[in-house]
Amino acid sequence: MDIIILENSDQVAAQGAAKLQKLLLDKPAAVLGLATGGTPIALYRHLVVEHQNGKLSFRDASSFNLDEYIGVRPTDPQSYRSYMQRHLFEQIDIDVANTFLPECAADENPLEVGPKYEQLIAARGGIDLQVLGIGQNGHIGFNEPSSSLRSRTRIKTLTRETIADNRQYFDATEVQPQLAITMGIATIMEAREVVLLATGSSKAAAIRQSIEGPVSAMWPASILQMHERVTVLLDSDAAAELANRDYYDWVQEQKRLLLHEIEGA
C-alpha cells in the first residue's frame, strides 16, 4: 500500500485527480471506476478545471460507478446518477452513453442488475482505476461490515450507522433510501489500480482499522491490503490514529529521493 499523508483535503483531491489525469493521458479510452459521497466532490472539481483548461479529455473514456440507491429514480436529485451528472459528467466531454451505474429501472428485477453490471464491466475490459471513499464503519461502495470479501455486485441493506452518516445529504422532507445496489468487494478488487481517499477526523478510526488492522469482513476496506496496487490519500485528520505514520512519511521521502536520483542520472 502506498500511504500518502497530505496536509489538507484539497491536496488529497488534487493528487487523486492527478492520478486519473495521468491515466487518461496514457490511455484515453480508460475505464474509470467512480465514487460518490462528499469526499470525491473536490476531486471532480479539479478534473473539471483541467478539462476546461484544455488539459484533459474524457471523449474516449467510460466509467462505472460503485453504487446506486434502489427506489430512487435516476432523475431524482438524490440519485447517484444525478450526483455524477451534476459534479462531473455535465461539465466534461464524456459520452453519457459510456457512463454506467448499477441502476435498477422501474420495470427491472433488482436481483438481475448485479450480474448484468458485472458483464458490462467485463465487456469493457475491466476497470483501470477505481476511486474509493470510505465509510466511518469501513465500508467501500455500500459493502457494509460483514459483507463477503468475495462478493459481487448485488443488493445491500444499509446499516443504521450509514443511514445516519448520510442523513446530512438529505432534506428533512426527503425519504432516505435503505437499500442500494453496490459493486461487490471482489468486483472492486479486480480493478487494476485503486485510489482510496479519506479526509477528516470522522474517518480516522476506519483508516486505522483498514490499514493497520487485520483483514476482516467487519472492516471491508481492510481487504485492500490484499490488492497489488493501492494508493491511500489521507489528510492529517484522517491519518491521526495511524500508529506507523512516521514510517509512511519516511517511505514517501525515500521515494522522492530515489526518483530524484533516477531522473537526475
Positions that interact with ligand GLP (CB under 6 A): 35-39, 66-67, 133-135, 141-142, 162, 166
Output the smallest distance, CB 162 to ligand GLP, in A.
Answer: 6
Catalytic residue check, 67 = yes
Retrieve residue 72's grid coordinates.
430512487
Catalytic residue check, 137 = yes
Output the smallest distance, CB 67 to ligand GLP, in A.
Answer: 5
Output the smallest distance, CB 238 to ligand GLP, in A.
Answer: 10
Compare residues 51 and 156 and give the one whose CB is closer to ligand GLP.
156
Compare residues 34 and 242 and give the one whose CB is closer to ligand GLP.
34
- Of these residues, 139, 143, 165, 235, which one is catalytic? 139
The total number of residues shown for the chain amounts to 265
DSSP the chain: -EEEEESSHHHHHHHHHHHHHHHHHH-TT-EEEE--SSTTHHHHHHHHHHHHTTS---TT-EEEESEEESS--TTSTTSHHHHHHHHTGGGS---GGGEE-----TTS-HHHHHHHHHHHHHHTT--SEEEE---TT--BTTB-TT--TT--SEEEEPPHHHHHHHGGGS-TTSPPP-EEEE--HHHHHTSSEEEEEE-SGGGHHHHHHHHHS--BTTBGGGGGGG-SSEEEEEETTTTTT-TTHHHHHHHHHHHHHHHHHHHH-
Retrieve residue 265's grid coordinates.
542520472
Compare residues 4 and 197 and give the one whose CB is closer to ligand GLP.
197
Catalytic residue check, 2 = no
Compare residues 240 and 251 and give the one whose CB is closer to ligand GLP.
240
- Of these residues, 67, 103, 128, 165, which one is catalytic? 67
Compare residues 32 and 66 and give the one whose CB is closer to ligand GLP.
66
Compare residues 62 and 143 and give the one whose CB is closer to ligand GLP.
143
Q: How many CB atoms lie within 10 A of CB 136?
A: 15
Output the smallest distance, CB 110 to ligand GLP, in A.
Answer: 17
Output the smallest distance, CB 143 to ligand GLP, in A.
Answer: 9
- Of these residues, 50, 68, 103, 144, which one is catalytic? 144
- Of these residues, 65, 98, 137, 143, which one is catalytic? 137
- Nearest residue relative to ligand GLP (C-beta): 133
How far apart are the C-alpha atoms of 106 and 212, rounded to whole Å?
42
Output the smallest distance, CB 66 to ligand GLP, in A.
Answer: 5
Q: Which positions are catalytic?
A: 67, 137, 139, 144
